[in-house]
C-alpha cells in the first residue's frame, strides 16, 4: 500500500503532459541531471510517452528526408533581404 502511494506520488509529480513538453530538451541534451532522471524514470513506466518519444524521433528522421527543393529555408523577411542583395550584385555585374 505504501509502495502504491509512492508510485502515485511520483506519477503525479511528473505527468505525461509535462513529459511531452520536455521531449526536445531531452533530445537536445539540455536537461539538468536531476530532470533527466525524472524524465527517464517516467519513460520506463509509461508506454504512451515511450511511443511519443519514438514518434518525435521518427518525425525528425522524416523531416531530414525532404529534398532541398521541398522547403524554403528562410522566412520571407530574411529571404527577401538576401534575394535583394543577390539581385543588386547581379545588376552591378552586367
**Which residues bind to other proteins, rule: CB under 8 A?**
11-12, 15-18, 20-21, 23-25, 28, 30, 46-49, 51-52, 54-60, 62-79, 81-83, 85-86, 89-90
- Look-up: residue for cell 536531476? 34
Residue with grid cell 523577411, as numbered in its chain: 77
- The grid coordinates of residue 37 equal 532522471
Nearer to other proteins, 6 or 24 (CB): 24
- Shortest separation between residue 38's beta carbon and other proteins, angstroms: 14
Q: Which is nearer to other proteins, 44 or 72 (CB)?
A: 72
DSSP letter at 71? Answer: S
Residue 94 contacts by C-beta under 8 Å, 6 or more apart in sequence?
A: none
Question: What is the smallest separation between the CB atom of 68 and other proteins, expressed in angstroms?
Answer: 5
3-state DSSP of 56-72? HHHHHHHHCCCCCCCCC
Closest separation between CB of residue 90 and other proteins, Å? 8
Comparing CB distances to other proteins, the nearer of 40 and 59 is 59
Amino acid at each position: 500500500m505504501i509502495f502504491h502511494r509512492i508510485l502515485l506520488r511520483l506519477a503525479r509529480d511528473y505527468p505525461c503532459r509535462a513529459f511531452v513538453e520536455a521531449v526536445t530538451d531531452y533530445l537536445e541534451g539540455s536537461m539538468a541531471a536531476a530532470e533527466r532522471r525524472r524524465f527517464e524514470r517516467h519513460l520506463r513506466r509509461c508506454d504512451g510517452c515511450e511511443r511519443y518519444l519514438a514518434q518525435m524521433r521518427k518525425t525528425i528522421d522524416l523531416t531530414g528526408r525532404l529534398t532541398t527543393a521541398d522547403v524554403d529555408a528562410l522566412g520571407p523577411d530574411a529571404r527577401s533581404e538576401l534575394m535583394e542583395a543577390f539581385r543588386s550584385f547581379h545588376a552591378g555585374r552586367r
